[in-house]
Amino acid sequence: MFELIRKRTSSVKNDVTSGITVALALVPEAVAFSFVAGVDPLVGLYAAFMVGLITAAFGGRPGMISGATGALAVVMVSLVKEGNALGLAMAQPVADMGLQYLFVTVILMGLIQVAAGAFKLGKFIRLIPHPVMLGFVNGLAIVIFLSQLSMFKTVDSGISHWLQGTELMTMAGLVVATMGIMVLLPKVTRKMPAALTAILVVTAITLSLDLDVATVGSFIRDGGGEGLKGGLPVFQAQIFTIIPWNMDTLMFIFPYAFILAGIGLIESLLTLNLLDEITETRGNSNRECVAQGAANIATALFGGMGGCAMIGQSIINVNAGGRGRLSGITAAISLLCFILFGSAYIELVPIAALTGIMFMVVIGTFAWSSLRIMHKIPKSDALVLISVSVLTVMFDLAVAVFVGIIMSALVFSWENALRIRARKRVKDDGTKVYEIWGPLFFGSTKMFASKFEVKDDPDHVEIDFVESRVSDYSGIEAISSIVEKYEKAGKQVKLKHLSTDCKKLLNKADAKYKSIILEKVDDPRYHVVADPNSFL
């Protein structure tokens, strides 16, 4: 009993400390993504709070962190711009109309995600090949790294340029100090959270030495914001009166909502899969879809920009010991507390400390093993891995994953298309038998048809599918085509060892197959191949 209490207490402590660390790291990212989308920083912060809280409490992956993300922000920026233009073109021009369109779009986005979970579409994430997963994490690590390089820039008279001289050395020194603490502290003691300790130590150093470095507060003000402080999220009742509810509005927001829903689900479910591997547990993808959708609906109704799972913060959380729902809930509530009460203190945190933490995330996210196995895996898998990584950096996660899946599917189809074989023999009564080996599907139909010698075959032919499986309708059509060729040549053909579903479709297409298909075959393997229920 005492051991159980100690473990439970340790788990609660890890969840709370990791949640606070994640909340600190969420602030600059939420603000940055707000600037990217062209909205006020509080819109991003409210999204990080509400999406993070709802998904942490009700999502399918305890320990996963959600909030405003860059993948969604880059799509939202054009939505906000077009929405502002539509508002100014109205009979009675309305300023800042893009934000209202954004809220409505995120509500529709959430409804699409809830529908995806309700129809159990989340299970299809399991079809993503491993090379695509490796390419995804490598590409995302590079994206995170490149995003942090912007922290080594400063804005002077509206012009951004790289830090130089003492400023650069100070920034780099603080980043290295943060990373050093995160690497060395766990080797000394695990009772203190490394990331949170690093933030506190580096902040203390900058304050005690009065170093002139970028902080969370200066970061917000340089981006055009007024500060971190704000009130509680307020219900956005105006979106139901100010938005023209007609078909034109639906046609405008639906493409954006669909793209945002797709990107959000892909990033969330891939992050879920990655955390499954790290924690050696299994999350619920369909439940996560519903939770993400509900969270986006709620955050839009209360002034948030919407969001999805964040791989960087999720890895920070898990590596800091946050494995339960309490960690995500703590992060969300801590973020709200920062906005309401602690803004003056959080604005003092150096950007260098948060950059150091994100660099450690990059190191932990990148699949270094992929570099070692690159020359050992098939060239097609290596090409998929590299392509997904490059496309993630160049475009976005959704494009990269879709292309990676298509490439993997084409490679799989081509390789299986080449596996179709036909062993030929002649029975004592003169009947020629074709024993088909390999899958018969859309990719192998031409190869299948090339195996038959209709003109030269005897009058009686059997096609035996004992070592083959008809996988789709294209395969059934290929069988029908071969049968027709033999019939036109005046020859009799019989089909053996077809699966139950294949026989049903052929019999439904033409009654003649009842006499062509051999039902009773004395073969112990026949029932295994013919009855798909035997695999259950």
For the ranges 57-66, 86-95, 451-460, which has the lowest average pLDDT?
Answer: 86-95
Q: Could you state, in order of their start, the residue ranges of all structural domains in the chain?
A: 2-69+120-238+306-406, 418-535
Percentage of the chain exceeding pLDDT 70: 93
Decide if 309 contacts 34 (C-beta within 8 A). no
More confident residue, 119 or 144: 119
Which pLDDT band holds residue 480 (cuts at 50, 70, 90)? very high
Which pLDDT band holds residue 50 (cuts at 50, 70, 90)? very high
Integer Cα distance of 75 and 468 in angstroms: 46
Measuring CA to CA, how many Å separate 73 from each of 36, 80, 129, 264?
A: 6, 10, 27, 11
Chain-centroid distance of CA 520 in Å reads: 49
Mean predicted confidence (pLDDT) in 519-524: 59
DSSP letter at 517?
B
Integer Cα distance of 256 and 265 in angstroms: 14
Mean predicted confidence (pLDDT) in 339-343: 86
- pLDDT score, position 361: 77
Q: Which two tokens stand for residue 158?
A: 């509206």
Integer Cα distance of 95 and 98 in angstroms: 8
Integer Cα distance of 331 and 336 in angstroms: 9
Mean predicted confidence (pLDDT) in 101-118: 95
Q: Is the pLDDT of residue 1 over 90?
A: no
Q: Is the pLDDT of residue 74 over 90?
A: no
Which pLDDT band holds residue 425 (cuts at 50, 70, 90)? very high
Sign of the alpha-carbon dihedral angle for 302, 306, 312, 318: positive
Render pLDDT for 437-467 as a digit per residue (tens, 0 to 9).
989 988 899 999 999 999 999 999 999 998 8
Element of type H or E holding 292: helix 285-301
Mean predicted confidence (pLDDT) in 268-278: 88
Please determine, looking at this structure, whether the domain spanning 418-535 carries the CATH number 3.30.750.24.
yes
Pairing of strands 308-309, 421-426: unpaired
For every residue of 260-283, which 3-state class applies, written as one string?
A: HHHHHHHHHHHHHHHHHHHHCCCC
Q: Is the pLDDT of residue 186 over 50?
A: yes
Sign of the alpha-carbon dihedral angle for 259, 145, 185, 23: negative
Which pLDDT band holds residue 225 (cuts at 50, 70, 90)? low
Integer Cα distance of 512 and 253 in angstroms: 53
Query: Highest-confidence range of 34-48, 283-297, 363-377, 417-431, by mean pLDDT?
Result: 283-297
Mean predicted confidence (pLDDT) in 82-106: 87
Which pLDDT band holds residue 383 (cuts at 50, 70, 90)? very high
Mean predicted confidence (pLDDT) in 117-134: 84
Integer Cα distance of 47 and 480 in angstroms: 57
Mean predicted confidence (pLDDT) in 259-283: 87
Q: In what order do the strands lie in the sheet with 432-440?
A: 421-426, 432-440, 460-470, 492-496
Q: Quickly list DSSP for 190-237.
A: SSS-HHHHHHHHHHHHHHHTT----BHHHHHHHTT---S--------T
- pLDDT score, position 10: 56
Integer Cα distance of 50 and 298 in angstroms: 7
Q: Is the pLDDT of residue 37 over 80?
A: no
CA atoms within 13 A on the CB side of 398: 15
| Closest alpha carbon to 59 in 305, 282, 283 | 283
Sign of the alpha-carbon dihedral angle for 369, 371, 375, 377: positive
Element of type H or E holding 66: strand 66-67
| Global pTM value | 0.73
Q: Is the pLDDT of residue 2 over 60?
A: no
Q: What are the phi and psi torsion angles at 309 (to 5°)? A: -65, 145
- pLDDT score, position 536: 36
Render pLDDT for 226-251 as a digit per residue (tens, 0 to 9).
777 788 899 998 888 888 888 989 99
Mean predicted confidence (pLDDT) in 343-372: 85
SS3 526: helix
Tell me the pLDDT of the chain averaged across its residues: 86
Mean predicted confidence (pLDDT) in 159-167: 86
Which pLDDT band holds residue 526 (cuts at 50, 70, 90)? very low
Integer Cα distance of 461 and 425 in angstroms: 10
